[in-house]
Structure 1
């Protein structure tokens, strides 16, 4: 059950946010230069990324724990992995504060600002906050998340000021990041430069355990089709009673290269497994049509689900930029916007 933050909690968050903004931290950090902070009663740190050094999108993202760091790595490495940036952005779990225009502030946060008596004027001066979760539309943080942001920003203020005043040196080029942790023995906060933990988002390779089904799929006749498959968010919002926040529709789309036609398009529910969705399509297609010649994809969940069984069935599983798929998805998004 969602618990809303109190006025007192929001007031504290706005206070520390304004203090941090006054330092203009984006003048001293690139968005890949992380600051790790161990919050009270936390076994794993939060990782903060300061945005805006390039002159666009001023703000701060907060990733909780090593799982959050994996999400940050997924976003930062889209050029290497081929995952579309817009997909990666909506697949993350994070908290964020942005400084934008009045029109960008959600209505509920405008109400909070008015009730607290804050006055922000001008473009790029209005703080607003987002809680991001895969399969859901970003929304206003709840009480716990407001507390996380407040404590993070309090410590981030001290860390940024130490860098500005040159009281600490971090060799970013050698993979170091800035750490801040409380020492219970001395009662002091320590700051030090240390390597970033090596993490990578895990996509476990799946082996189809049903031996009877494996043999049946291997015996299906070979057909000369080339199929593309992909997951894509459509940038819409759907409110359903069973979920506390609006869902962001995630589609599983399959495309036939010869005809350029969409074979199937399925909305993936928040509780659905990508692995199951991919395998269900693959098994159904082979049973109805036979073994395709080639299957193209770029999403790592597809490779996790199909690498073993494609090898078993003599099907070429290839990594591809899927330009035709991008065009189809763009058309789907335009159509959905017309109907929402």
Structure 2
């Protein structure tokens, strides 16, 4: 059950954030320079990325735990791993503070700013916060998330000041990150350099357990069809009473590359398994129509779902940029606006 943060808690967050902004941390960190902080209640550290040194978008993203760091790495290497930028941005868990423009701020956040009596003037000077959660649209942070941000930013302030005052040196280019931890024995905070944790999101392969079904699919005739399969976030919020925040529309999209037609679109619910949905469609399609010549993909979950079954059925599975599908989806998005 979602619990909203009190106005007093929001006041704490805005106070510490304004102190942090006064240090202009983007002048001393690139977005790939990670600051890890151990919080009082957390079993794993939070990982902070400071944006804005390139002059495009100033802000601070906080990723909770090593799973969060995996999300950061996915976003940073989306082109290499095969994710579309839209998918990588939407399929992450993180808390982000932006220093942006008035028109970017949600109605709920503006109400909080008004109730706190805060005044922001000019472009790039509005402070607002967004909670990113996989399968959901960006939303106002809840009580727990605001508490995480307050404690994180209090410690990030000290970390940034140490770099700004040249009291600590981190070899970012050699794979080091800054780490901040409370020493209970000495009752003091320590900040030091450590090697960057190695994270890699795993995509376990799915296998059909029904041997009769596998044999039936293998015997299906080949058809003149080459499938492209992808999971696509449409960035359209859906309000559903079953969920405590708006759902971001996620579709399983199937296209026949030979005919240049999208032949199937299916809405994925937040609780549904991506690989299972891809495998279910593939088996049903093959059972009804026959074996496609090839299947193209870019999302690793598609490969995890189909690799073993495609190999067994003699269907070529190929990684692709899916540019034709992107063009058609862009046309759909424009029509939805």
TM-score, with length taken from structure 2: 0.98
User: Contact between 1:90 and 1:134, CA under 8 Å: does it hold in 2?
Assistant: yes
Query: What is the distance in 2 between the residues matched to 1:326 and 1:98?
Result: 29
Q: Which residue of 1 aligns with 2:322?
A: 322
Task: Provide the rounded CA distance (Å) in 2 between the counterparts of 1:114 and 1:263.
Answer: 48
1:18 aligns with 2:18: yes
Following superposition, which runs of at least 4 residues in structure 1 exceed 3 angstroms of deviation?
none
Partner of 2:209: 209
Q: 1:235: how far off?
A: 1.6
Q: Identify the residue that residue 82 of structure 1 maps to in structure 2.
A: 82
Q: Which residues of 2 match residues 260-299 of structure 1 at below 5 A?
A: 260-299=260-299
Give a deviation string over 1:27-78, Cα, whole Å, max 9, x none: 0101011100000021100000000010011000000000000000100001
Deviation at 1:332, TM superposition (A): 2.0
In 1, Cα distance between equivalents of 2:318 and 2:255: 14
Q: Where do 1:1-340 residues align within 5 Å?
A: 1-337=1-337
- Work out the CA distance in 2 between the residues paired with 1:113 and 1:259: 52
Moved more, 83-92 or 324-333: 324-333
Work out the CA distance in 2 between the residues paired with 1:273 and 1:87: 16
Q: C-alpha distance in 2, partners of 1:336/1:243? A: 24
SS in 2 for 1:237: strand
SS in 2 for 1:15: helix
Helix, strand or coil at the partner of 2:95: strand
Q: Distance in 2 between matches of 1:258 and 1:42?
A: 51
Structure 2: unaligned runs, 5 residues or longer: none
Identify the range of structure 1 (3-12 vs 235-244) with the bigger mean alpha-carbon deviation. Answer: 235-244
> In structure 1, what is the Cα distance between the partners aligned to 2:115 and 2:281?
51
- Within 1, Cα distance between the matches of 2:33 and 2:272? 34
Structure-2 separation of matches of 1:111 and 1:193: 40
Give how far 1:199 is off.
Answer: 0.7
Greater displacement, 327-336 / 278-287 = 327-336
CA contact (8 A) 1:137 1:237 kept: yes
2: distance between equivalents of 1:225 and 1:92?
33
Q: Aligned pair count?
A: 337
Separation in 2, partners of 1:254, 1:109: 38
State the Cα RMSD in Å: 0.9
Q: Structure 1 residue 224: deviation in Å?
A: 3.0
Q: Is the 8 A contact 2:82 2:300 kept in 1?
A: no
Report deviation, 1:334.
2.0
TM-score (norm 1): 0.98
1-side partners of 2:58 and 2:37: how far apart? 21
Give CA-to-partner distance per residue, 1:225-274, whole Å, 9 cap, x none: 21101111112111112111111100111011111011101111111111
For 1:326 and 1:228, locate their aligned partners in 2 and report how far apart those are by CA, in whole Å.
11
